[in-house]
Homo-oligomer: A and B are copies of this chain.
Amino acid sequence: LSPSPVSPVLELGPGKEFDRIRAIARALGTQASGLGDDCALLPAGAGILALSTDVSVENIHFRLDWLALDEVGWRAAAAALSDLAAEGAQPEGMLVALVAPASASEADLSAVMSGAGSAGATVGAPVIGGDLSTGPVWSITVTVVGRAAVPVTRAGARPGDGLWVTGVLGGARAALEAWRRGDRPESLARAAFARPEPRIVAGRWLGARGAHAMLDLSDGLGGDAGHLAAASGVALKLALDRLPAAADAVAEAGRLGIPVQRFAAEGGEDYELLAALPAEFGAADAMVFQRECGVALSRVGEVEQGSGVHAMLGGQPVILTGFDHFALPR
Contact = CB atoms under 8 A, between A and B. Distances in A.
How many copies are assembled?
2
Given A92-B3, A93-B40, A121 B31 contact: yes
Interface in A31-46: 31-35, 39-40, 42-46
B55 A128 contact: no
Nearest to A58: B135
A325 interface: yes
Contacts of A30: 121, 126
A97 B55 contact: yes
Nearest to A83: B129
Contacts of A42: 92-93, 128, 145
Main secondary structure of the interface of A (DSSP, over half): mixed
Nearest to A89: B1
A261 interface: no
A239 interface: no
9 contacts: A1-B90, A1-B92, A5-B126, A31-B118, A33-B128, A35-B129, A40-B95, A42-B145, A43-B45
**4 residue pairs, one from A and one from B, having the closest CB atoms:** A45-B45, A31-B117, A27-B110, A40-B128
Interface of A: 1-3, 5, 17, 19-21, 23-24, 26-28, 30-35, 39-40, 42-46, 49, 51-57, 59-61, 90, 92-93, 95-99, 102, 106, 109-111, 113-114, 117-118, 120-121, 124-137, 139, 141, 143, 145, 147, 325-327, 329
